[in-house]
A = this chain, B = another copy of it.
Amino acid sequence: MPATSPPDGAVQMAATDRTRLRRLPEQGSHRTADLHAVLDAGFVCHLGLVVDDWPMVVPTTYGRSGDLLFLHGSVASRSLRAAKVSTPVCVTVTHIDGLVLARSLFEHSVNYRCAVVYGVPDFVGDAVEKLEGLRVISDQVAPGQWEYARPPSARELAATTVLRLALDEASVKIRSGPPDDGDGPDTDLDLWAGEIPLRTVRLDPVADPTLRAGIRPPSHLSDGNPAPGSISRHDLS
């Protein structure tokens, strides 16, 4: 499979100066479906913000609902609040799919899917909306747990920060397939070329050592239903 083609049809996100794809535009896309697919395949993003004129990048969990991204804001909430009431952020989600090993070191690459979202998030204040945002995040990180585990108390909900970001300005880059030097002079060399796929796998659940005897993992954990972007070890055999 060659590198992803340029977007055709269904171009729904307008390219801004920031999201216009300059380098390797053939790997880029502004299709909403591509954006949603990359976002839905993960649950940890890298949230970038500016603090005292310096960039700051922290990982946090997220979930998507329609054209909204909800971020668990605790890690960055202090910096976000310190920065400004309305502070611009960049949210980047990256999946590493494989090592691309070419005949030349220059053509070595990585197969990946990456979504970059720009915007000014708001802190979700309303308790009902915050609960809904947390549900979206929880469903993306660990499907089934929202219905299974004990819900947040009013105190716990107040202690939790949720950020909401509209998916208005975003771009997607995807590289897949073999190296790009398969039609060049380096094919005359006696060198192997190809891809080493990388996958995230879920191992079997490990019970909390303090778990009372006789409590089994619920079916949504033990019967597959893997975390986004992961596959069960049993799928590999």
From A7-15, A33-41, A106-114, the one touching the partner chain is: A106-114
Are A89's CB and B44's CB within 8 A? no
Residue in B closest to A106 when the chains form the complex, CB atoms: B156
A150 surroundings in chain B (CB, below 8 A): 103-106, 186, 189, 191
A203-236 residues at the B interface, CB under 8 angstroms: 203, 205-212, 215-218, 221, 227, 230, 233, 236
- Would you give the shortest CB distance from A100 to chain B, in whole angstroms? 9
Contact with A55, one of B23, B49, B203, B205 (Cβ below 8 angstroms) = B49
Q: How many residues of A contact B (CB 8 A)?
A: 95
The interface bits of chain A over 80-122 (1 if a CB of B lies within 8 angstroms of the residue's CB, else 0) are: 0000000011111010100101111110101010101010000
Residue in B closest to A214 when the chains form the complex, CB atoms: B190
Do most interface residues of chain A lie in helix, strand or loop, or is the interface mixed? mixed
A153 surroundings in chain B (CB, below 8 A): 106
A59 surroundings in chain B (CB, below 8 A): 92, 94, 112, 114
* A68 at the B interface (CB under 8 A): no
* A6 at the B interface (CB under 8 A): no
Are B54's CB and A57's CB within 8 A? no
Residue in B closest to A233 when the chains form the complex, CB atoms: B236
19 contacts between A and B (CB under 8 A): A22-B78, A44-B112, A58-B92, A99-B227, A101-B221, A104-B149, A104-B156, A105-B145, A108-B145, A178-B206, A178-B208, A178-B210, A191-B215, A192-B205, A193-B208, A194-B207, A195-B205, A197-B202, A197-B206
Extra contacts, 14 of them, besides A178-B206, A192-B218 (Cβ < 8 A), are: A44-B112, A48-B55, A54-B88, A59-B94, A61-B110, A101-B149, A106-B159, A106-B160, A193-B211, A194-B211, A196-B206, A198-B201, A198-B227, A236-B236
